[in-house]
Every structure is written in C-alpha cells, then in structure tokens.
Structure 1
Amino acid sequence: MTEKLNFKLAPVAGTFVTRDVDRNGPIVKLYIYPGLRAQEMGVSNLEVVVGAIRALPDEQYASLRCEPMLDYLHEAAEKWKMDFGIFSFDLKTPKQSRIKIYTRAPNTSVEYLMDALPLGGRYDMAMYSAEAIADVKGFWCTFIGDAPAGLPSEAGKPTTPKVYISPASFRKNDAEVLQRLRRYFATRKNADKMLPQMDNYEEALRRIYGEEFLESTGNIRFYVSCALANDQLRVVTYLCPQTLAREEEARKRMGR
C-alpha cells in the first residue's frame, strides 16, 4: 500500500459541470480547479478561493457567515499543510447557491479529522450526538485507520462537516472496499437496518461489474463519504461514470 500513498492534489487547472436530479428540478453545479489562476497571480490556491468569496456582493457574502471557515483554512494550511483542490458553487440564484471548498491534507490521523470537522473549535460540535461523532470516527478508521499518519507530499450558514476518502489509495481492490463498508455498518447501533441496504448495494455492484472485475480493480469509486447530521451519519459512495455503461451492458445481457 505504501507506494500508493503519494499525496497529490487535483489537476492544476480545469473545470467540470455536474447535474443533480432533484425532486424540485435539476441542479447544475460548476467545479473549478484554481491552480492555474494561482500560478498566474503568484499566490496560493487558498488566496484565489478566499478572494473570490470575498468579492461576492455584500448581501450574499454576509449571508454565508463564512469568516470562521476562512480563518480556519488559513490556520489549517499552516498546521496540517492543507491545500485546496476544488472550488464549487451551484448555478442558482445568489441566495440559493451553495459555495463549497474541497480541501486535502497529507494527514490521516483522527486528531486531524477532529480538528477539521469543527474548524479548529470554531463550531460547537454539541449539536451532534456522541454516537454520531463515534460513527464518523469509525467511518474514518475503517478505511484509513491502518495508513501512516502522515503521507509523503508532492506538491453563511453553519457549515456541514463532510469527510471524503479516496479508497483506491488505501485498499487493494473494490471488493475489499465493499467488505470494509459492510464491516463498518455491522458495528453500528442500527446495523439491522443498514445491513439489508448493504446487501442491495453489493448485489447491484456485483450484477453490474461481476465479482472478478471487483476483485481486479480498485477505482470504480471516486470517494466514500460521510456527513454528520445531528444524531446520525449519512454515508454516500461516488461511483465513476463507467458505472452507467456497465449497467447498460448488464441490462442488455439480461434482455431488459
């Protein structure tokens, strides 16, 4: 595993657009890699992102209440060598649009996790139950608890703490990621509700990809992610676009 743990950021420059299908209508989102602009200006990615946010119209900027987060990002850049790979926002009206900053740091310790989630103590974690905090720690350790604490480096509204893990860097294949997810859900208080959902998820992936493919590759997931929500944890997996092509192939094989 060690040879896979070079800490590399996202591409230096570029953009991509996603489209979420929502009950209230589609949501289009724009994602920007700020590195080229930072190089052009001779500043850090963080300075580009912070400058863009602070250049928003006064009313929109005030509604974000983002100063605690921006303060922490500067602090974390020094403390954890945190860097900033992607800047994102929803293509909606200014009052409805969410602004998101995707960060990375060459650190896998629980100490780092519990510093980043409350923004270095700037947000009170009392709104989350002890069980939810234990869940997010368990999620973190399930996937990267046995990784080195430090990785080789190359390179408004109250915030919603989320954790994104790229499992391909830490697990040997996608079959093992499934095993780790199952192990995680099996240790939770609501395992009786989560494991049947895990059964469905595993069955869907095996029908789309096949067991041999899952055991031979480790990159069908961009991320496994979790988000704190009061007394519970929301777990999401992000699959590569090839999933759709595989699903279509599977449907054709089954004559659907």
Structure 2
Amino acid sequence: MNASAQPILEVENLSVEYRRGRRTNLAVDDVTLHIAPRETLGLVGESGSGKSTIGKAVLGLVRPTGGTIRYDGQDLLTASSAQRRALARELQVIYQDPHTSLDPTKPIGYSIAEPVQIHEPASKAVVRERVFSMLRRVGLGEDAARRFPAQFSGGQKQRIAIARALILSPRLVVCDEPVSALDLSIQAEVINLMAELQQETGASYLFISHDLSIVHYLSDRIAVLRKGRIVEYGDAGRIYEDPQRDYTRRLLAAAPVPDPELQARRNAAREKDGLDARTDAIVSAIR
C-alpha cells in the first residue's frame, strides 16, 4: 500500500437520491473518500447506511445526484459507454452472493473464462490455462472447471467468484459484503485468500461490510458510514482500537467474535456503557 501515491479512486461530495413516487430518500449525503494503489479502504455501517449505494455508484449501477467519481484521474460520471466498457477489465466486483456472478447452467470454468473472452480475446488453450491457474490460486483443483456451481459449498463458490473477479488482474475491486453470508471459520479463509491475492496482484479494494472486526483485519483505512454520511474516517488500527464516535463503538460491540472469553468481555463492557438496547437494535438491522 502506498497511501501517498496518486489515488486510484477519488470520490468527492457524492450524493445519491432514490425517488419513490413523491418521496425522496437521500441514501448518500456529501461523501468524500479516496483509495490509493494497493490499498484497502473499508466502508462500514449498519444496513441502510448507504455503503452499498456508494459501491454501486462507483460501478456505474446507480446515477449520483451530486459530486464526482474519478478513477485514475478519469471522471466516471462523464465517461461514455465505450469508455466504461474499456474500464470494466480494470474495475471488478465481488458480491455477497456468488450466485449473482455464476451461471448455474454452466460449468464454473465457463464463468471464470467469460471476462477474458470478452476483454482479452485469446486462444482456447491460453484461456483454459488462465482459468486453471486462477483455480489453483484460490485453492481449487483444475478439475473444478468442469463442475457446476451447485456442486460447491458456499465458501468454495465465493472462491470461484473471487477467481472470476481477479482473472483480468483489475486495479480496483469493489467487495460488497463478500463474506457476510459465510460461517465465521470460512470467513477467515476467504479474507486471508483476498489478502494474499492482493499482495500478488497489487489490486486496490473498496471493502464494504457491516462487520467492523472483519473490515479492520483487511483494511488500511476505514470510513464509518451512518445515514449516508461519513461519521469517522482514518487509520484502521486507530478506529478499531480507539473509536471516537459512539456509533462506531456500537458497531464494534455488535460484531461477533469466535473467542468466547473476548465476546464475554465485550458483552460486559457493553452493559457497563449502557449500550445494550441500542446495539441490539443495530444487530437486528444488520443480520
């Protein structure tokens, strides 16, 4: 990570509104953030805080009502359709549910190969070897290429989705709740894999999650989002160890941990601070 380098992603004064009939919901309100090359920025907040909307705006899936989004200095909001298609190989996404990126009627080798066939036409032999290489890198054998999504566990399918997203060696990956549907032990495996692949590929991550403990593990910096606005922003270690906002402390207290003794201490501290009722409301909202 080189936080002093020219940012690969710059979001300035971003606002996004959703309209339903005569009602307007301000989902994102004047958000500014940036990501440097090889850096992971964690974007954390409860359900409905606007974090996924920011990811969708970066990917061009929702249209902002204000602000700017620049990728490597290029304004994405004024980019033509052709320019967005050209950038697609450098800007990829990993979703919470791998079913969204895996065709259940096709072997997973087909799904992993598809981005290469679209963006980097090559011979069948070259594409096949790249698919095999990615499968090995995510801990699956080459024979997996001939199997269908239904034949894999949830954790394995997320590994396949990661292989599909990274096969083009993108410079920026939007990771939208990529482990929230997995068991804690599988979450750790997938997070470690993402960290290893980032070291190998040099990609930057925008890592979106409601779980501050997971975000802290992978991120260099963290932006805490509440009701569409950033309420705390800075070094990941500082925010995790010494959160300045009560809202951030509640998010941290709400995050489950696999260590029973640590969880018991968290529960005791939560009771001491009188945060139980508010934390329970957050837990119910983000689970």
Q: Same fold (TM over 0.5)?
A: no
| More contact order relative to length (CA 8 Å, sep ≥ 6) | 2
TM-score, with structure 1 as normaliser? 0.31
Q: TM-score, normalised by structure 2?
A: 0.28
